[in-house]
Amino acid sequence: MPKLLLATNNRGKVREMQALLGGTGVELLLPEEIGLELHITEEGQTYAENAARKALAFARASGRIALGDDSGLEVDALDGKPGLHSHRFAPWPNASDADRRAYLLQQLQGKPRPWTARFRATVAVTTPGGEVRYAVGECEGEIIPEERGTNGFGYDPIFLIPALGKTMAELSMDEKNRLSHRARAIQNARQIFKEVLGV
């Protein structure tokens, strides 16, 4: 089974990717399994740039085909913020996911609801030689003022999918693997896996 190196150290993302890639004919390889520890700064101007930066760095360091991704939450009432800066949105050093959610809700106080929003994700599949292929996915929803659910990470507990009446953190793994922005990006990347990995 061909191996694909995941260009991240984020445990929540690792669990999602492992579930998403099940059944694709691809074996996911984690950096720690090959003794690789890289920390790539996200300095790109787009999700695609950040995804490619991560994937290329891991591919070149390991000599393996790598998968990088970048994603963000875009809230219409905040003119698309936090967007690219979703992970670094809270102004405090070493902010936790809970800190970021609290800061986002603080920024939304006084703005009329519903607070429509979307998650966007871009995945980049790269070869050690520098070839990069992209796939994207998005999930529409709205921000709610109270946290619900324990199955997600990041902004998931305050991101409601109105059609289901559930937050991203209330979804089962099976539901999330059909509906999330990352799930849709991986689904859209299947043709890339076929062409690059031969699966």
Measure CA 41 to chain center: 15
Catalytic, 70? Answer yes
Q: Which of 70, 99, 156, 174 is catalytic?
A: 70
Find the helix packing angle between 181-188 and 11-20, rounded to 10°. 50
Can you state the angle between helices 181-188 and 190-197, rounded to 10 degrees? 40
Contacts (Cβ under 8 Å, ≥6 apart) of 181: 71, 118, 119, 120, 121, 137, 138, 139
The dihedral of CA 14, 19, 24, 28: what is its sign? positive
Residue whose entry in the numeric block shows the structure tokens 């959610």? 101
Written as six digits, the tokens of 169 are: 């953190």
Give the separation between CA 175 and CA 97, rounded to whole angstroms: 22
Helix H or strand E encompassing 141? strand 132-143
List residues with catalytic annotation: 70
